[in-house]
A and B are shown apart, each in its own frame.
Chain A
């Protein structure tokens, strides 16, 4: 109690010192509060946009050389992302994994859209199972015109509002439900594939920006055709015994040794022949087709640990050893999310550098303060104060200062954030639109951000008082006899 009273009194007795340190702490807390809020806003917005609209919390992708994004951006140079060979195994594993709420298989690629001979646009398209897609991203998609296709509807496309407007402009007429569009694949290794699809509906992505809002949804089989995968609309593949023999014992190394392998699969179709009975010569064997999917998105249950599920899934994937990639939403979202995370890292680094400087300044001021109070501390020691008392007194002094300066700093930060919120800074371009998670910057003012900022400064204050405390504890009681 008396230590607290002395600590509090000392703040006002040494006003200049307190004011200097208080100002540093106040500004530090305000900067941290505002900075963290802006970064939290960006990452939180991006996270919401991607996790709830495009990537899920985690994703598995086919075996590219380097990890790829949901938009197929990969440093490996593959034109088409390979499919996930053991897709059913992943689904089975994830169904049993605690913390997984849902999964969604997906195909993705770039397509060109046309009306007859006329090209009217191009963009990203996702091949989806419409029911699963709607259920997985239920909060992100709203049909604004037309209707969702039925599960068994053939060759459909759902285009976004943005795409519809863009295509209508290019076509010179309204592109809407019922319109037939020609899709052709871009960057397809299987050659030129053209498919006609019917516009089933116009969709709005609730969480998106101008770039993401141009994505179209296509039925999975059409997308497989465009990407060069086997389509499930074809009936089960019938294999002759020779073909069955070939797919069972096929060794690519023999391709150049053997003058005439029986056959070569034209696509990356994934067919698993039933081999439980040896086929008779001349009979055909029915194979069970396994759908090709390039992505498997994972939605976590509320409160589930993303890092744990990611670790479990990574371990499982490594066990399968097919070269698939398992990654979180940041890796899946690509450049924008990575940039935001990088900005956070740079901010954290800047904070660290500022922290070191603040610690040095605070420490110096405290050292000067201690040296001015040598007789007082010596007197306390002479009167019987233990070292713990001196330590407590200085720590309390720092704590009081941090609390008072912290309160002012948080108020200042809060005022700045409110001002930013009211003024609604507009995103100057698509990059900032993504970073701002919308057209305007609307900072999230969170209690946790305020607490984090305060704790950071408080921690720095305590850290910077350690050396001055050590100096204070070295003061001998005999100095009290040497006068003030």
Chain B
């Protein structure tokens, strides 16, 4: 962890190329930025601008073609699959555009799932963990739905479950890939407000991607991408800087 600067994420001249048939697509072209602990950041841009690629790299589910990606003080290109898995497990929470809940588990179990994947005790007893999960369920307003299956919930409720699941390991960093894309605007707004509240309540860094310029305003820090390049990188109290 880069404690001196409190950076949770640092990208330096990152390139990412994909092979698409016989042609090579340059998804990211020399992207560099830092993210501070506790920030609520929006990575904005139109479709194909490289938002999801950036989140994939920060979430340690993909690797850069060149450049360095540091997450929570670890250079991801130096870690093997096992260490990357451990870093994701303990350090990064995920909120997916399509919710990605496990259909056979009920809401409570879905939220608790990351904590049960490798028998980790989160430094707390079973009773404390259950209390923590219950607190999360109440925080996302699903206490009356906790024994339901995901299929019995609305899209907004599912995304609330996903938010609680992302926080169960108390990760320093939560990534949300277009978390409102599959929701109506009112629900999307409430989801963003919930994320913001969690950000304030737990001090967790939230990074969410969106192509909706309307919801960028909620962020403390906006990184705007276009054609794989950063075209804007500003904190809300700053003027635009490239």
For B102, give its contact among A376, A381, A389, A483 (CB under 8 Å): A376
Report if A259 contacts B (CB, 8 A). Answer: no
| Interface mask (B140-178 → A, CB under 8 Å = 1, otherwise 0) | 000000000000000000000000010001000000010
CA distance A380 to B117 in the complex (A): 9
Residues of B within 8 A of A381 (CB): 61, 85
Instruction: Give the contacting residue for A10; candidates B82, B97, B104; CB below 8 A.
Output: B104
Task: Tell me which of B22-30, B87-95, B185-193, B196-204 binds A.
Answer: B87-95
Bound complex: CA of A476 vs CA of B103, how far in Å? 20
Among A1, A13, A477, which residue has the most Cβ atoms of chain B within 10 A? Answer: A477
Contact assessment for B59 and A389 in the assembled complex, using a CB-CB cutoff below 8 Å? no
- The reply to whether the CB of A386 lies closer than 8 angstroms to some CB of chain B is yes
* Cα A375 to Cα B96 with chains together (Å): 11
Interface size in chain B (residues, C-beta < 8 A): 33
Q: Determine the interface band of chain A, counting residues with CB < 8 A from chain B.
A: 20 to 34
A480 touching B85, Cβ below 8 Å:
no
- Chain B residues positioned under 8 Å from A375 (CB to CB): 98, 100
Question: A2-B117, A384-B118, A386-B85 known; A481 and B55 CB under 8 Å?
Answer: yes
Cβ-defined contact, B85 with A384, below 8 A: yes
B55 and A379 contact, CB distance less than 8 A: no
Chain B residues with CB under 8 A of A13: 103-104
- Contact assessment for B118 and A379 in the assembled complex, using a CB-CB cutoff below 8 Å: no
Flag if A386 contacts B118 (CB, 8 Å): yes
In the assembled complex, the Cα of A376 lies from the Cα of B101 at a distance in Å of 8
On chain B, the residues within 8 Å of A478 by CB distance are 56, 61-62
Contacts of B88 in A (CB 8 A): 382-384, 477
Which A433-484 residues sit within 8 Å CB-CB of chain B? Answer: 476-478, 480-481, 483-484
B52 surroundings in chain A (CB, below 8 A): 481
CB contacts (< 8 Å) of B97 on chain A: these are 481, 483
Knowing A477-B61, A478-B61, A480-B61, the reply to whether A379 touches B117 (Cβ < 8 A) is: no
Q: How far, in angstroms, from A169 to B104 measured CA to CA in the complex?
A: 78
Q: Contact partner of A383 among B55, B56, B89, B98, CB < 8 A? A: B89
**Is B34's CB within 8 Å of the partner chain A?**
no
Whole-angstrom distance between the alpha carbons of A480 and B59 in the complex? 11
Using Cβ atoms and an 8 Å threshold, which residues of chain B touch A389? 117-118
Query: Are the C-beta atoms of B98 and A1 separated by less than 8 Å?
Result: no
A375 CA to B105 CA in the complex, in Å?
16
Q: Is B96's CB under 8 angstroms from A2's CB?
A: no
In the complex, which residues 362-387 of chain A have their Cβ closer than 8 Å to any Cβ of chain B?
Answer: 375-376, 379-387
Select from chain B the residue with minimum beta-carbon distance to A7. Answer: B104
Most chain A beta-carbon neighbours within 10 Å: one of B52, B86, B102: B102
* B116 interfacial by beta-carbon distance below 8 Å: yes
Chain B CB within 8 A of A261 CB = no
Q: How far is the CA of A8 from the CA of B113 in the complex (A)?
A: 16
Residue of A385, A386, A481 near B61 (CB, 8 A) is: A481
Interface residue B227 (Cβ < 8 Å from any Cβ of A): no
Question: Cβ of B67 < 8 Å from any Cβ of A?
Answer: no
Closest-CB distance, A228 to chain B (whole angstroms): 82
Q: Taking the nearest CB of chain B, how far is it from the CB of A284, in angstroms?
A: 94
Find B104's partner among A6, A385, A387, A477 (CB 8 Å cutoff). Answer: A6
Q: A70 → chain B, closest Cβ, in Å?
A: 63
Closest A-chain residue to B59, C-beta based?
A382
B77 at the interface (CB under 8 A from A): no
A5 on interface, CB distance cutoff 8 Å? yes
Instruction: Give, as a whole number of angstroms, the nearest-CB distance from B160 to chain A.
Output: 17
Report Cα–Cα, A9/B98, bound state, in Å: 21
A8 contact set on B, CB distance < 8 A: 104
Q: Given known contacts A379-B100, A483-B96, is B56 in contact with A2 (CB within 8 Å)? A: no
Please, how many angstroms separate the alpha-carbon atoms of A6 and B101 in the complex?
12
Distance in angstroms between the alpha carbons of A484 and B162 in the assembled complex: 14
Bound CA–CA A384/B116 (angstroms) = 10
List residues 278-307 of chain A with CB under 8 A from any CB of chain B.
Answer: none
* Complex-state Cα separation, A478 to B54, whole angstroms: 12
Q: How far is the CA of A383 from the CA of B100 in the complex (A)?
A: 10
Q: How far is the CA of A8 from the CA of B109 in the complex (A)?
A: 14
Contact residues in A for B98 (Cβ distance below 8 Å): 375, 483-484
Q: B109 to chain A: which residues have CB within 8 Å?
A: 2, 5
In the complex, how many angstroms separate the beta carbon of A13 from the nearest chain B beta carbon? 5
Q: Which residue of B lies closest to A13 (CB)?
A: B104
Q: When the two chains form their complex, are residues A6 and B102 in contact, meaning their CB atoms are under 8 A apart?
A: yes
- Identify which of residues 105-144 in chain B touch chain A, using a CB-to-CB cut-off of 8 Å: 105, 109, 112-114, 116-118
A477 to B, closest residue via Cβ: B61
Cα–Cα distance between A408 and B155 once the two chains are bound (Å): 40
B59 CB to closest chain A CB (Å) equals: 7
B88: nearest chain-A partner, CB-CB: A384
Give Cα distance in the complex from A379 to B61, angstroms: 10
Q: B104 near A5 (CB under 8 angstroms)? A: yes
Let me know if A382 and B94 touch, CB within 8 A: yes
- The residues of A that contact B85 with a CB separation of less than 8 Å are 381, 384-386, 477
Min Cβ gap A161→B in Å is 68
Contact A484 B104 (CB under 8 A): no
Contact B102 A480 (CB under 8 A): no
Nearest chain A CB to B152 CB, angstrom units:
14
In the bound complex, do residue B61 and residue A384 qualify as a contact, i.e. CB atoms below 8 Å apart?
Answer: no
**Distance of B188 from chain A, by nearest CB (Å):** 17
Closest to A478 in B: B61
Given the contacts A383-B88, A384-B85, A480 and B94 also touching, CB distance less than 8 Å: yes
Q: What distance in Å separates the Cβ of B60 from its nearest Cβ neighbour in chain A?
A: 8
Quick check: A384 and B104 within 8 Å, CB to CB?
no
For B104, give the chain A residue with the smallest CB separation.
A9
Residues of B within 8 A of A477 (CB): 59, 61, 85, 88
CB interface residues, B 216-236, toward A, < 8 Å: none
A384 touches B89 (CB 8 A): yes
Which residue among A12, A381, A384 has the maximum number of chain B CB atoms within 10 Å of its CB?
Answer: A384
Interface string of B50-80 (1 = CB under 8 A from A): 0010011001011000000000000000000
Q: Residues on B close to A: CB < 8 A?
A: 52, 55-56, 59, 61-62, 81-82, 85-86, 88-90, 94, 96-100, 102-105, 109, 112-114, 116-118, 165, 169, 177
Q: 6 A-B Cβ contacts within 8 A?
A: A380-B102, A384-B169, A386-B82, A476-B61, A481-B52, A483-B98
Binding site for B on A (CB under 8 A): 1-2, 5-6, 8-10, 12-13, 375-376, 379-387, 389, 476-478, 480-481, 483-484
Given contact pairs A2-B116, A384-B117, enumerate 5 new A-B contacts (beta carbons under 8 Å): A1-B116, A5-B109, A379-B102, A385-B118, A484-B99
